[in-house]
């Protein structure tokens, strides 16, 4: 069932083991590993964030195009693509980055299913091994809460005005609920990985509000 995870898990295992040898705790190793992966992908995610900011600035023009070509979907699509091209926007870059990170997530899932039975951590003493699901459901709710908080914070203060709080809240609640269901019966190690990743995302959003972060984001 998990055979297609084997190649990815085989690549990730020695890296995770390296961090375990440094910390002597699998939970801490997962946290450091996650931070390592997220930091490695920082500049790739920064490029996506810049694209999102550019798209947000184009919203008034995009809305005007929708009014002008509302009865001609083909013309509207062509006009949108032309506007994106003129402003250096690649609309599919966000999807591409997400797809790039999915193999890592699935590889971690396979790794914990296959080898999590031999992993323990002082960070989650209420489970026997990291292959077990969290019977207390602390980690799924923690991961979902951090994801929710991150999704509620826009990249820039200007972007917060473009989406109503009600709409943003609805999308964030829906996404967080999906994550809870995903983590409910998954290895607790995967929840720890996701919670750390979401916390990193939250701190990343905060960083973009600093002067250094703004300079990077709006460059």
Q: What is the pTM of this model?
A: 0.84
Q: Looking at residue 165, what is its pLDDT?
A: 63
Q: Where are the domains of the chain?
A: 3-217
pLDDT in tens, 164-197: 566 667 777 887 788 788 888 899 999 999 999 9
Contact 139, 191 (CB under 8 A): yes
Q: At what angle do helices 26-40 and 42-57 cross, to 10 degrees?
A: 50
Whole-angstrom distance, CA of residue 127 vs CA of residue 120: 8
- Residue 117 φ then ψ, to 5°: -65, -20
**What is the reported pLDDT for 125?**
93
Give the pLDDT confidence of 120-151 residue by residue, as tens digits: 999 999 999 999 999 899 999 998 898 888 88
What pLDDT sits at residue 106? Answer: 85
């Amino acid at each position: 069932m998990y055979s297609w995870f084997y190649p990815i898990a085989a690549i990730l295992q020695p890296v995770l083991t390296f961090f375990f040898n440094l910390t002597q705790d699998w939970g801490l190793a997962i946290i450091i590993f996650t931070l390592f992966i997220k930091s490695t992908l920082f500049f790739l995610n920064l490029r996506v964030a810049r694209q999102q900011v550019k798209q947000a600035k184009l919203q008034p023009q995009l809305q005007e195009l929708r009014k002008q070509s509302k009865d001609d979907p083909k013309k509207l699509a062509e006009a949108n693509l032309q506007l994106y091209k003129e402003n250096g926007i690649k609309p599919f870059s966000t999807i591409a980055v997400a797809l790039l990170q999915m193999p890592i997530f699935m590889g971690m899932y396979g790794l914990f299913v296959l080898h999590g039975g031999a992993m323990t951590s002082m960070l989650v003493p209420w489970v026997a091994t990291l292959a077990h699901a969290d019977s207390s459901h602390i980690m799924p709710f923690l991961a979902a809460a951090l994801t929710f908080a991150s999704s509620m914070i826009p990249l820039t203060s200007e972007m917060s005005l473009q989406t109503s709080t009600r709409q943003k809240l609805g999308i964030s609640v829906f996404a967080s609920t999906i994550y809870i269901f995903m983590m409910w019966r998954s290895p607790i190690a995967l929840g720890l990985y996701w919670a750390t990743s979401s916390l990193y995302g939250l701190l990343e959003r905060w960083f973009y509000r600093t002067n250094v972060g703004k300079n990077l984001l709006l460059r």
